[in-house]
Amino acid sequence: SLPIALPSTAKNDEEVAEAYLKRFFNLTTPEGPIQRRRISPMTEKVREMQRFFGLKVTGTLDSDTMQMMNKPRCGVPDVAQ
Amino acid sequence: YSTFQGNIKWPKTSLTYRIENYTPDMAVQDVDRALERALQVWAKVTPLRFTRIYSGTADIMISFGAGVHGDYYPFDGPDGTLAHAFAPSEGIGGDAHFDEDETFTSGSMGYNLFLVAAHEFGHSLGLSHSTDPGALMFPVYSYVDPDTFSLPQDDIKGIQFLYGPNPDVDGGNPDPNPGPTTPNACDPRLSLDAATTLRGEKILFKGSFFWRSFSQSSQVEQHRIKYFWPELPDNIDAAYESLESDRVYLFKGNQVWALFGYDIVQGYPKSITTLGLPRSVTKIDAAVYDEQSRKALFFTGNQIYSYDEATRKVDQGFPKSIKDVFPGIGNKVDAALQDRGFTYLFNGQYMMEYSYTRRALRVLYTNYFLGC
């Protein structure tokens, strides 16, 4: 299906979240043909981040999750690289 | 707490450190002092000892740099990432880098260098991040007064797992005075400072922390109070949500703060005398808005006041003795909230549930709403 045109804030949140999860939660961009997966790697990593910070585990970029991602923090990853 | 894979640590307890350059944000001696104190945080609870050197390669090389600064992890400008450090090993291992695009200070403005450095040196010694929101090794920065800083127990357990206790203290026996611990929601002896609803959530305060309980899910979040509201004090006395004004009022001593949603309302704190309470009331132990009577109920000592927000006056015939209004809760109330017509009063480790006619229905544990 065509990617829906995300509103700018949602798109920006996606970009912020992707960069954050790559840096701190070892999100990797799958190489080669996109495998059809029940849950996207991004959603899995959002859940992992929410569990780490004791947030409600929704798998979505809700406001609490985005607020946590925008907080000043240490640059060391939260999961083993 | 957590350590790095393989529990890597230094194979020695005498370590050297070198300050390679300085931030222009602070005086040189203030940077020296902040970094020295940050290392002493860890030396105090372990056999680790730190010696400063001024040339050559130290185990812990400390530097300030912005953007791309010589390793594969460029900084990101103001805020965001504040600093990073490398786990113990030869070469870059143990080194700590601070983002020069931040404003580092000795106080509460900007980012307190002592606090950031104490966290980064935890990495330099072998600790990874903690999920405990009260731990120094929690990844997100939150300001605490450096003069009263005490290494939390979670961090002490982590660093002593790697290096053992400080042999110079009590002959190396575990410290009888453990560091501050983050309130445990599942401690059956848990008591609360204050409780309120907030637009459908329940907010339960304890010490420097609060829990957010979401009615539609059993999950509960725990955060530092200052993570959401840096302006609020710790150890809140009382809190209630006014359905008249859509505000949450929070009390400590003779002062009151207000929230609109999750936002602090400007112009607070105010004195509780502005509420029209008698001057004899110098502190409120608990507060709740009673939907039935449309009054705010204030508990202080063994007495209860019924307060009309519209007229800003205490109702006739009050104060009354708590036990005459809410039989069974005893002579004091720590916290109070109302939810779906039921009133919940907290006293120590127990909570009593009352019907809207104020008939005692159940005795529950204080942590009933905390999803244990």
> What is the model's pLDDT at position B216?
66
- Closest residue in chain A to residue B217, using alpha carbons only: A56
Cβ B82–A64 below 8 Å, yes or no? Answer: no
Residue A32 pLDDT: 65
A72 contacts on B by Cβ (under 8 Å): 79-82, 102, 111, 140-141
Rounded to the nearest integer, the mean pLDDT of chain B is 94
pLDDT of B9 higher than 90? yes
A52 in contact with chain B, both atoms CB, cutoff 8 A: yes
Which of B221, B228, B263 to probe by mutation at the A interface, max A CB count within 10 Å?
B221
Average the pLDDT over B240-265 and give the result. Answer: 94
- In this complex, the residue of A75, A78, A80 whose CB is nearest that of residue B5 is A80
> How many residue pairs from chains A and B have C-beta atoms closer than 8 A?
65
Q: H or E stretch including B335?
A: strand B335-339
C-beta separation of B320 from B288 below 8 A: no
Helices (H), B223-348: 225-228, 322-325
Which residues are CB-neighbours of B261 under 8 A, at least 6 positions away? Answer: B198, B199
Chain-chain contact of B75 with A68 (C-beta, under 8 angstroms): no
Under 8 Å between Cβ of B193 and B177: no
Give tens-digit pLDDT for B100-136: 999 999 999 999 999 999 999 999 999 999 999 999 9
Q: Which residues on chain B are in Cβ contact (under 8 Å) with A69?
A: none
Per-residue confidence (pLDDT) for residue A36, from 0 to 100: 64
How far apart are the C-alpha atoms of B153 and B182, rounded to whole Å?
8
Instruction: Encode pLDDT of B208-220 as tens digits.
Output: 999 999 876 677 9
- How close, in Å, is residue B131 to chain A by CA atoms? 6
∠ CA B294-B251-B287, nearest 5°, is: 30
Q: How many CB atoms lie within 10 A of CB A40?
A: 12
- Positions of B annotated as catalytic residues are 120
Instruction: List the alpha helices (DSSP H) in chain B.
Output: 28-43, 113-125, 153-163, 225-228, 322-325
> Are A72 and B79 within 8 A, CB to CB?
yes
CB atoms near residue B340 (< 10 Å): 8
With contacts defined as CB-CB under 8 Å, which chain A residues touch B131? 52-54
Taking the C-alpha atoms of residue A27 and residue A19, their distance in angstroms, rounded to an integer, is 9
What local confidence, expressed as pLDDT, does residue B287 receive? 98
Q: Is pLDDT at B173 greater than 80 in this prediction?
A: no
Structure confidence at residue B244 (pLDDT): 85
Distances (CA, A) of B265 to A64, B250, B311: 20, 11, 21
Taking only the tens place, the pLDDT of each residue in B186-206 is 999 999 999 999 999 999 999
Distance CA B238, CA B194 (A): 5
Give residue A3's pLDDT.
45
Of B63, B86, B60, residue with least CA distance to B73: B86
Q: B84, B86, B92, B229: best mutation site toward chain A, by most A Cβ within 10 Å?
A: B84
Flag whether pLDDT at B150 surpasses 80.
Answer: yes
| Better-scored residue on pLDDT, B236 or B172 | B236
Q: Which amino acid is at A21?
A: L
Q: Which of residues 22-51 of A touch B (CB under 8 A)?
A: 24
Residue A34 has a pLDDT of 61
Rounded-to-integer distance, Cα B218 and Cα B213, Å: 7
Chain A: nearest CA to B168, how far in angstroms? 31
Q: Which of A71, A76, A81 to mutate to test the interface with B (most CBs of B within 10 A)?
A: A76
Return all residues near B55 (Cβ < 8 A) that are at least 6 apart.
B18
- Which parts of chain A have pLDDT scores under 70? 1-9, 30-37, 81
Return d(Cα B328, Cα B185) in angstroms, integer: 24
> CA of A80, closest CA in chain B: separation in Å?
7
b/e per residue B220-247 (b: at least 16 CB within 10 A): bbbbbbbbbbeebbeebbbbbbeeeeeb
Q: What is the pLDDT of residue A8?
A: 58
**Which residues of chain A make contact with B229, given a CB cutoff of 8 A?**
none
CB atoms within 10 A of CB B165: 18
CB contact under 8 A, A74 and B128: no
Query: B219 with B195: CB under 8 angstroms?
Result: no
Backbone angles phi, psi at A10, to 5 degrees: -65, -40
